Amino acid sequence: MVGVPLTRTETHTPSDDQEIWVSGVVQILGEWNGAIRLDCSWDLAQAVTARMYGIEASAVTAEVACDTVAELANVVAGMVKPLLGTRSHHSLPTVVRGRGYEFNVPHGRSFEQCGFNCDANYFSVTILQRAKAND
């Protein structure tokens, strides 16, 4: 992520512990309906933002770090969307920052989830598929 090596790891979510997390979600609507969610630790959000802007991590504000996570969620959604093989469009990203929260998409079921270690920090990407009315 931003020129830092990644290693695949077990997944966990912001509700697993009390550290600060940032989650960015982009909904995809069309022939396939669901969302792409990126969850990362606050430390990673700060580090990636600092690296992108060439500033010290201590100078990163919550607003700028959340904007960075929103943009990363948008980029990931843009890369995943063609893999779904359907005509669709996606929403603007939504971002949440905090401790011990659950971030759900209504009627969304986890379709795929991948966890990664990045520069001694954690992030995950989850694809949530919206259940059909008769499911």
Q: According to the CATH classification, is domain 6-100+108-130 in 3.40.1550.10?
A: yes
- What whole-number percentage of the chain has pLDDT above 90? 42
The upper half-sphere exposure of residue 74, i.e. CA atoms within 13 Å in the direction of its Cβ, equals: 11
Q: Please write the tens of the pLDDT for every residue from 59-117.
A: 999 999 999 999 999 999 999 888 876 788 889 999 999 988 887 778 888 888 888 88
Who contacts 72 (Cβ-Cβ below 8 Å, separation ≥6)? 1, 24, 38, 48
Whether residue 16 is predicted with pLDDT greater than 70 in this model: the reply is no
Sorted by where each begins, the domain ranges of the chain are: 6-100+108-130
